[in-house]
Every structure is written in structure tokens, then in C-alpha cells.
Structure 1
């Protein structure tokens, strides 16, 4: 596949794109690129003040773009429900849901509902949001749910005995990796369930490689100023896998996209290496059940039939 760039994005006029964490970094660059192609952009942000600042910045770059800011705190399931209700009142359909927002290696913190912050935000928040908005997508041609994971998920495991990382001492990198692997497992399980349903929606995933973004604001000086600059690329380049997953015609259900360079840290987007756990249907079904139990959100999708060897 030739090097895919923003220039390949098809016309997005009359398409509605919701991007979580769109006020900065990869999310902002994703919103900008889609707005330039005519999409209606909803920037779902925890801080509406920062969201409005980002909106004004985007409008300077793309005059006349249709850009809205809506409040969404993914770490609070009550906020997720309020957001979904408000969105359903404002919009009759949703073409693109890009689950981009995330929190990265903070000190140990719990969400309002008592979940470890990274698992609660990165996985549970997006699980609930997707389930609540899926009814607006199922009948929309070429609608897509893009979940943005991370290379940190490739070497992670999901500890079903300690999903909230309560063991001492708190290992924030392990918790982050678990949350990003959980997002990827969710995306693949969602793809299987959508494929087994009459829905017109597909589920795909992407990772940015190494990117210098605001996610890293909780990291130390050495990582932020020495390590990350050597291993990362600019947010507009890091956004390309997400953009390709969202709009490229050759993308199919259940695929995973990332940079093509060394260790998938940089480079033009291509099909990424998939961790074994992400493709494990039993892990997918188990984590899905956890998502439904902890969020109270039930999808109108049945598990795909499992093939059992004789």
C-alpha cells in the first residue's frame, strides 16, 4: 500500500463525526483533517473551556467549519449518560465515533464510580459511550467506530482478578497497558458482534505509534523531554492511522492500523501487529461482560457464534 496521507480522505460532507478528547493532540488533528473535508465535528471534551479554545483554533485553520463542543467526562459514567442523551436530542445519526480520549500513567486515582482511573476512563467510559450511541449508527451506511489504542497494549495483560489495579504498590504503567489492551479487545469483540448482526456499522482500531501529546503531561521530565522526542512523531502524523481507519475505502471490519516504521513507532499507516489477546474471542466475551456489569450499559448485539473444534 502506498503511503497514505490526509490527501486521501474522501469528501466528508453531510457526515457527523464525534471525537473524544478532540481539544488537543491526536484528537485535535483528527478533527481538523475531517473538518477540512466537510464533516460536522463534535468535540467531546472534559473541559468545555479548553474545548471552546480548541474550537476557535480549528475555525482559524478551517474557516466555516461546522464544529460543536459538548461536555463529556469519560471517567464519570453519569457524565457519559448525560452526554449520550444530549447527543441523541441534537443529532439524528452518527457516522463516525472516534474513541480517542485517554489518560496516561497518573498517580493512583479512582473514578467517581470507584474504578481505577485508567481502566475506568480508557475502557469503561468508551464502552458505555459506544453502547449508548450505537443506535444512531446501526442503519448509517459506512458508519465506523474507531477505537484508538496504544503500543503499550501489545505487551500488556488483562488481570481479571485485579482489573482496578488495587495491588500494592500501584504499577501505573501496567494499569495503562491493561486499559489500552482492554480497548483493543473491546474493538475486536465489537467487530465480531457487528459482523454477526444486520448493522451497517464496522468497528476498527488504530494506534498512533509514538506521539508527543498532552497524554504525557503526567510523565516525568526524562521521559517527556528526552525519550519521547526520540521515539515519537508529530500529532498530525500520529493521527493518520486513526484517520485511515475512519475513512479509507479499503478498511474492513475488525482491522487494526498503526505506523509502518521501526517497531510501529513512526511512519505511514499500515495494518498493525495484533496482540494475541485482542483476537481471543473468549477474552473478548469475558471483558465485554465486565463492561456491561460495571457500566450498566447493554448493547443490543449478541456474541458471535463460537466454533468448537471436534
Structure 2
């Protein structure tokens, strides 16, 4: 990993995304922090630069809840950079009450999944100009309680504190990664990762007695970030695609991930919803040719 690579990390001004950006900077990589809030992103960048003098870290504004913002971001990236080596789709949210994106989608489905779906498709041209490009989708163990239901793409009642909506968005992330792996050119791979139960503010803010129990099974943000970066940069991940792995031991997987029809149907529907141009599977390309 001595040669500098250029990485885009969404939602990298806080949490795991921030730690991933920091660790990437320490490894000498160029990091593009794709964030919604300019002031928070600038502050996070400054903290990284202070910790890693000479770090090549840039901030670019991206609001995944707006298709217009996503298109503007992708267009500016393609104009500014001759290639991108890795896209880490990290940003995610879990509001406890029903919210909607600019286009009217349920916020978690819209931001955690559809926003990244459109972003990924729009960045494929600039990713394809790298000889070895990687796409890493951050999912979750929460995909286990997810179910893909078109009726819930825009509204969901009851909302149940956002838990079921979160599960749907994270299941969709993995299904997308798997389907994408079958459609990408040979020089781009797509994989998904469960970052593990990370020792973050979420756990530290719970009662001390419960935190004492949980901390035994928590991993550090650095462990999770470095695992993700290995997938994005390391030689041993160069030819691996369509996998779903965990930064923390064995990973139970939903049987829905083996449903090829569900994966393809969701992909085609997502192209319709976002206006993304569908990628054709190589086997279908050969038949057409």
C-alpha cells in the first residue's frame, strides 16, 4: 500500500467514517471526505491534518438525501480527478421517527441505500479509470431483520423507532453489493462489510452496568476502520468481489441474500427510482453481442 490511492469516504466527519478517514491519512492515502455539513466536515478535516501533518485530505459537500446534490457531487469529482481508487459507502442514519428525503423516500432507505446506489452508479466512470478500483458498502448485522417491501420505500407505519426501516436499508446495501459485483467491469470489485459492534458514543452513553457487559464484545473504531481500509486497499482483496464479511468474527447472514430474483428485482427497481443507468451483466452482454 505504498502508492498513494484516492479514496472517497461518505459521512466521514464523525463516527466510524471519521476514524476510517484518519487511518487512511495515516497510511498516506488521499482522502475525499464526502459530507453533508460543511462546518463539521472542515472541523473534522482540521483535526486529521493536525494529527497527521501533511495529510492529503479534502472536503467535498454531499447530501445523500438529495439526488440533485448527489449528481452535483459526482459531476464535480469526475471533473476534478482523473480517477478514483476506492469508494467507501459509509454514511448512514437511524432516525427514531419517520422522516423523508427530498424525493420523498423514507429517510433510511433513501440515505443509507438509494443515495449510495445513485452515487455509486454516477462514479463508476471515474472509478473505471483506476486499474484496481474498490467499492466497499458498510452494512450491519441489522440486515438480519430487514425485508425488502416496496410499500415501505416511502412510508412505513408503525415506524417502530426506525429499527425495521434500518434493517431494510442494510439488507438492501448487501443485495446491491452482490448484484453490482456481477455487473461491474473486471477492474472494479464490490464488497460489503459489517463493521462490528464498535466501541463508540452509542454504547458509552448507555448505563455503566450495561456498558461494562457490552464492552467485552466491542471492537475499537480503529480495528473496524483498518479492516474496511484493507478491503479498499490491500492486495489480497484485489480480485474478491460480491462478499459480505465482518470486522468482528463470524457473520450470520440473512437467507434473503441467496435470493437472486430479489437481488435483481431490487436493482432494476432502484434504477427506476433514481434514474441510474442499469449496468448489464457480462453474460447478457455476450448474448446481445
Report runs of 4+ in structure 1 exceeding 4 Å deviation: 221-225
Aligned to 1:110: 100
Unaligned runs of 5+ in 1: 1-9, 265-271
**For 1:69-102, what per-residue CA distance to the aligned partner results, in whole angstroms no more than 9, with x for missing partners?**
0110111111111111111111111100000000
CA distance, structure 2, for counterparts of residue 158 and residue 95 of structure 1: 31
Aligned to 2:287: none
1:207–1:242 Cα contact (<8 Å) kept: no
1:210–1:232 Cα contact (<8 Å) kept: yes
Please point out which of 240, 246, 254 is paired with 2:226. 240
How far residue 245 of structure 1 moved from its aligned partner, in angstroms, is 1.4
Please show how residues 215-226 of structure 1 align to structure 2 within 5 Å.
216=202, 222=206, 226=210
**For 1:20-77, what per-residue CA distance to the aligned partner results, in whole angstroms no more than 9, with x for missing partners?**
0111121112112222222111000010111110111111121101110011011111
Please show how residues 91-110 of structure 1 align to structure 2 within 5 Å.
91-110=81-100
TM-score (norm 1): 0.83
SS in 2 for 1:211: coil
Unaligned runs of 5+ in 2: 285-289
1:208–1:242 Cα contact (<8 Å) kept: yes
* CA root-mean-square deviation: 2.4
1:103–1:121 Cα contact (<8 Å) kept: yes
TM-score (norm 2): 0.89
Aligned to 1:125: 115
Aligned to 2:144: 154
Relative to structure 1, the CA distance from residue 169 to residue 207 in structure 2 (aligned partners, 3 Å threshold; closer, same or farther) is closer
Please point out which of 199, 202, 205 is paired with 2:189. 202
Aligned to 1:5: none
CA distance, structure 2, for counterparts of residue 153 and residue 223 of structure 1: 26
Please show how residues 221-300 of structure 1 align to structure 2 within 5 Å.
222=206, 226=210, 229-230=214-215, 231-251=217-237, 252-261=240-249, 272-299=251-278
Name whichever structure is richer in helix by fraction.
2
Aligned to 1:303: 281
**For 1:240-274, what per-residue CA distance to the aligned partner results, in whole angstroms no more than 9, with x for missing partners?**
3312211222221112221344xx5xxxxxxx444
Aligned to 2:54: 64
Provide the aligned length of Structure 1 versus Structure 2.
Answer: 280
Aligned to 2:178: 188
SS in 1 for 2:32: strand
